[in-house]
Amino acid sequence: MKDQSRSPIQLYLTLPILAWALFDFANTIFSANIVTLFFPQYITETVGTDPRLEQIASTIIAYANAVSAVLLILFSPLYGVTIDRTGRRKKYVMIFTLMCVAATVMMGIFGGMDSGTWFGLPNGLVLTIMLFVFAKFCFSSGNVFYDGMLSGLGTKREIPLISGFGVALGYLGTLFGIFAVILVIGDSPTYHTFWLSGILFLIFALPIFLVNKDRKIPPKQRQPFLKGYRDIYHTFREARRYPSIFFFMVAYFFVNDALATAIAMMQPYATTVVGFEPGAFLVIFMVATAFSIIGAIVFSFINRRIGSKKTFLSIAVLLAAAILIAAVPLPMWTFWIAACLFGIAMGSTWVVSRTMIIELAPPGREGQFFGLFAFSAKMSAIMGPFIYGSITLLLADYGTIASRMAITSLMVMILIGIFFHMKVRETPPEAAE
């Protein structure tokens, strides 16, 4: 049994916990550099040559994110069941990470290619979009297994601190990744940032490959491949027996819808709607990242003090305030306020959501419910970008109004999420059962 009296410093310096947290450092380099910054910048620079095409570029970015989420939904029902049956988490973290890294490096190889056209677009651009979709799918798949490792690293009282440490170290990875790319790539074309980001992801993922071990469980009888889909369906039905985890997953669906879409569309919105230059946006994003680090650490302690339900509600309100400020045509400086609030919400959401799943899931079946949790998150990752991209596509002739209408739609999602979250009761799974 793990020592229940470990101090935060003792936790953070424990080698398996440190290696686990360094993977957050590694994969956030990918999510920040590729998903949030340089892939959207690459698309905007390549496609968005006038106000109307800027909105079309936003549509391409949004739809690419939605397609990667569709792929994850097709496979994610297998992931949680695989964890519970085999106990293997690290193996699949390694597999998906290596595939993600390979696809990201190839984005840097093909991003500048222009030897012909496919679908009326340069073939290098089309290949880069396809590789992005695959890379993000692998990144998200690996995170399901990575999150599943959390429950084996400490006691329930320690989990919020461990989760917060990982998220905070992850956003330090964001800052490191941006500075490293700027230092090495300089004024080279944007697509060169892809291969370097992939290599950095791999380097800092190595500790979890080498240090952490899967918990051994008794071998279980092999089941048909498709049984995983039936199991996730039964898990979903069974989740209704646990009203708190059911309502939280619905709430998280809508709040994550707003958050994931805002992350994916932040760069094109700030540059084409608010009016920031790409270099200025990098500074804004780094400031938001700094507040993410603060939010992850502070809210891990707040979570332990006031409970996960109140903490998640506070985060949702902060996120709503950030989106409202960004959506209204206010002076440019107010976007800095929105970025800081968004950074706090961005960093702390992952801390609290992972903790709530562990608290609300039936004992011994955390992996199964993490699979359902990932399924809920990725369903929202389809809806949000699809709605956003459809709005910018349909209203492209109206210029920046299209993007302001699109980001306003995220407010509706947050309000729906808050409504369902208020129905969550912080009772242990045994009591619910």
User: 381 pLDDT exceeds 80?
Assistant: no
Q: What is the mean pLDDT of residues 149-169?
A: 77
Read off the amino acid at residue 285.
Answer: F
Q: Pick the closest to residue 57 from 190, 186, 255, 177 (CA basis).
A: 190
- Tokens matching residue 271: 């540059």
User: 112 pLDDT exceeds 80?
Assistant: yes
Residue 309 vs residues 138, 247, 253, 356: alpha-carbon distances, Å: 30, 11, 15, 8
User: 378 pLDDT exceeds 60?
Assistant: yes
Residue 72's contacts (CB-CB under 8 Å, 6 or more residues apart) are 137, 140, 141, 374, 378, 381
Q: How far apart are CA 206 and CA 90, in angstroms?
A: 11
pLDDT the model gives residue 195? 95
Confidence band (pLDDT; 50, 70, 90) for 14? confident
- Tokens matching residue 292: 């993410």
Q: What is the mean pLDDT of residues 216-242?
A: 67
Q: How far apart are CA 167 and CA 187, in angstroms?
A: 30
User: 267 pLDDT exceeds 70?
Assistant: yes
User: 102 pLDDT exceeds 90?
Assistant: yes
Q: What is the mean pLDDT of residues 54-63?
A: 90
Under 8 Å between Cβ of 426 and 359: yes
Predicted model pTM: 0.80
- Tokens matching residue 229: 């889909």
Residue where the block lists tokens 């819808």:
257
Mean pLDDT, all residues of the chain: 84
Distance of CA 218 to the CA centre of its chain: 32
Percent of the chain with pLDDT over 70: 88
Q: Which residue has the higher pLDDT, 374 or 2?
A: 374
* 364 conformational bin, left if phi > 0, alpha if psi -120 to 50, beta if neither: left
pLDDT the model gives residue 376? 74
pLDDT the model gives residue 270? 92
pLDDT digits (tens, 9 = 90+) for 274-313: 989 888 998 998 898 888 878 878 887 888 888 888 899 9
User: 169 pLDDT exceeds 80?
Assistant: yes
Burial letters 219-242, b for 16+ CB under 10 A, else e: eeeeeeeeebeebbeebeebbeeb
- Taken in order of first residue, the domains within the chain and their CATH numbers are 17-212+224-432 (1.20.1250.20)
pLDDT digits (tens, 9 = 90+) for 319-364: 999 999 999 988 999 999 999 999 898 878 877 887 787 777 777 6
Residue 259's contacts (CB-CB under 8 Å, 6 or more residues apart) are 319, 345, 346, 349
Q: How far apart are CA 407 and CA 410, in angstroms?
A: 5
What's the half-sphere exposure (Cβ side, CA atoms, 13 Å) at 246?
A: 10
Helix H or strand E segment including 70: helix 51-86
Q: What is the mean pLDDT of residues 200-227?
A: 76
pLDDT the model gives residue 228? 63
- Phi and psi at residue 145, in whole multiples of 5°? -70, -35
pLDDT the model gives residue 30? 94
Residue where the block lists tokens 């011994």:
364
Q: Which residue has the higher pLDDT, 128 or 154?
A: 128
